Structure 1
Amino acid sequence: MSAIVLFLAVVAVIAGWWLSQQRLASKPWLETGVIDDARGASSLPPAKIGLGVFLAVVGSLFALFVSAYTMRMELVDWRSLPVPKLLWFNTAVLIVSSGALQWARAAVGRDDGEGVLIGLLAGGASALVFLIGQLLAWQQLDAAGYLPAANPANAFFYLITATHALHVVGGLVALGRTTVKAWRGAEPAQLRLGVELCTMYWHFLLLVWLVLLALLTGWADDFVAICRQLLT
């Protein structure tokens, strides 16, 4: 349960920060001449709100995975599998993909259409390489005899990494639409929302993957032990 409690605490902090930016304590009936501007500055596009809700749900799903993983590994039949070294390369590629989309987001602010297109293409290509690398890692484990049904640790590894990969595939669909618009010559201002949404989603996927990698490699064991001590 420590992972769930930690995730909910992070969500609460983010929600509190977001609400603080919405001018909830303001008194619009006392303001003159700036009401429309205040509303425009504080309002968020429905797409961003929807993405935020979706990320909260997805984050809760992975938090449940992490919690179940940490509880299941305490049983005697748990046999940790060796993490393929290829995962480190895949992690680097995903970092590059997230960085490329951040580049595209910055290019939108500079009104640089060519930079936006380059960033989107680089981000999408890197994400595809990441997915291919994940498939190769699964093939390596399968060839070495680490089948999903052989051990609970194996089943969790395939379940967690496959679920993350499916979310990457879903992100590529949205990224592909935005990239097509950029390829067809859409102005950076018209691409702003799509690029920002893709960038937010990619940063989220990178953060989730880093947490999962720390868990699968055993780097998070000490942190999990500390959380358990704090909650007992």
Structure 2
Amino acid sequence: MTLYRDVTDKPWNTVGLPDGIDPKPTFQAPNEKVALIVFVIVASVLFSLLTVSYYLRILWGGGDWVPIAEPAMLWVNTGVLIAASIMFHLALIQGRRQTSVRFPSAAALSSLTGGILTLLFIIGQNAVWQTLVQSGLTLQSNPANSFFYLLTGVHILHLIGGLWVWSRAQLRMMRKNDIEQTRLSLELCAWYWHFLLLVWFGLFYVLSTT
């Protein structure tokens, strides 16, 4: 009967893995990292399409494009965002070195500072918008204005989404949560802010040279 059972056995009908084989994840990375990579790819495509549309509107817009002089506040905001990205990277480094990342550890304080600087950047961008509106450069007055508000607005929306993840990381550092999960949150914030800083460099270059 053993020989008959071996011959007639149909392993493809077996549910699950054979005995002695342990399941392995498809990606050798946490799900959060994989999700961030996918999101960054999608966001990169979005910003690329917006930039291409920006240049196409300049070339084939019928001559109604009137460039605007970017307020000097944009340079200040850029410096603030650079500082925020640096603070998140410091939080990542300190979180890896320290045995505790709870408040008031250096990692927690660096992360908190990075979030506050990001809020200042958003406030500064809103101040730039208010300056343009008071100068008569409204959304409808010129295609260049519309694209300026669109590009900077989409960038701010991505920062606000990052702040939501950052706030969850802050809560983890206030509670007695798993230190590895907290370190993962710090890492995700750091790389996401680096990405958005690079995006802003690209947008700032495009807006200031056209």
Place the TM-score, normalised by the shorter chain, in its bin. 0.7 to 0.9
Partner of 2:53: 68
- The answer as to 2:69 corresponding to 1:78 is no
How many residues are treated as equivalent by the alignment?
181
Residue in 1 that maps onto 2:3: none
In structure 1, which of residues 198, 206, 225 is the aligned counterpart of residue 197 of structure 2? 206
Shift in Å at residue 183 of structure 1? Answer: 2.4
CA-to-aligned-CA distance 1:141-160 (integer Å, 9 cap, x gap): 00000001011100000001
Matches within 5 A, 1:210-229: 210-218=201-209
Partner of 1:53: 38
Q: Contact between 1:116 and 1:182, CA under 8 Å: does it hold in 2?
A: no
3-state SS of paired residue (1:73): helix
Q: 2 CA distance for matches of 1:56 and 1:190?
A: 23
Contact 1:98 1:123 in 2 (8 A): yes
1:155 aligns with 2:131: no
- The structural deviation recorded for 1:190 is 3.5
Aligned to 2:6: none
1:124 offset after TM fit, Å?
A: 0.4
Q: Deviations over 1:162-202 (max 9, x none)?
A: 01001101100100110121123546433111111111111
Q: Residue 30 of structure 1 corresponds to which residue in structure 2?
A: none
Residues 51-93 of structure 1 deviation map (CA, whole Å, 9 limit, x = unaligned): 1011100110000010011111123111011101101111000
- 1:14 alignment partner in structure 2: none
Q: After TM superposition, which residue ranges in structure 1, 4 or more long, deviate above 6 angstroms?
A: none
Q: Corresponding residue for 1:97?
A: 84
**Separation in 1 of the partners of 2:182 and 2:176?**
10
Letter in 2 for 1:107: Q
Residue pair 1:103, 1:116 contacting (<8 A) in 2 also: yes
TM-score (norm 2): 0.82
Would the aligned equivalents of 1:86 and 1:137 in 2 still touch at CA under 8 Å? yes
TM-score by length of 1: 0.74
Q: In structure 2, what is the equivalent of residue 230 of structure 1?
A: none
Once the two structures are superposed, what CA deviation does each residue of 1:108-147 show, in whole Å capped at 9, x if it has no partner? Answer: 1112520111111011000000000000000000000000
Check the 8 A contact 1:81/1:153 in 2, yes or no: yes
Unaligned runs of 5+ in 2: 1-21
Percent identity, please. 39
Question: Are 2:94 and 1:107 aligned?
Answer: yes
Flag the structure with higher helix content: 1
Residue 29 (structure 2) pairs with residue 44 (structure 1)? yes
Pairwise CA RMSD: 1.7
Task: Give 1:47 shift.
Answer: 1.1
| Other-structure match for 2:107 | 116
Task: Give 1 or 2 for the bigger CA radius of gyration.
Answer: 2
Q: Does 2:188 match 1:197?
A: yes
Unpaired stretches in structure 1, ≥5 consecutive residues:
1-35, 222-232
Query: How far apart in 1 are the matches of 2:194 and 2:126?
Result: 22
The counterpart of 1:184, out of the listed 157, 160, 175, is 175
